[in-house]
Amino acid sequence: MHPFRKAVEDRDMAAVEALLAEEVVFTSPVAFSPYPGKPITAAILRAVMRVFEDFRYVREIADEGGRDHAFVFEATVAGKRLSGCDFLHFDEEGKIDEFTVMVRPLSAATALAEAMGAQFERIKTEAAAAIESGNAGL
């Protein structure tokens, strides 16, 4: 099992954050612009863990070189079942430098957008605190 998948399934945010490159770019399924940097990405991922219920990975796909991975998942948000995929790219040091999420169906994506919107002030506060402490979210 890939270390990222294990960390997520164990709900070990310290291990997830340790896998993020400082310059990681997170592309959300419900926001137009990507979010650059480890502090905001880590804060978003913590919020996702708070809003997803019954989360589980159902498939893991990797390229031969091991730098690109797709992790297919299922979860529930506000009573809506969703399917999604985390597309990760790993840099030369094995850190995640690109993190893109896609989800379906639209009704579940809308529920996710609403749930994450309710978390966004906390996300910004956590990211700002990490930047101020020089800790990048750890």
d(CA 35, CA 28): 8
- Where do the structural domains in the chain lie, given as residue ranges? 3-132
**Class for domain 3-132, per CATH?**
alpha beta
CA distances from 66 to 26, 70, 85, 100, 115 (A): 19, 11, 17, 17, 33
Round to whole Å and give the CA distance between 16 and 136.
13
- What per-residue confidence (pLDDT) applies to 69? 96
| pLDDT of amino acid 101 | 97
Q: What is the pLDDT of residue 135?
A: 58
Tens of pLDDT, residue by residue over 31-57, are 889 999 999 999 999 999 999 999 999
pLDDT (average), residues 4-27:
96
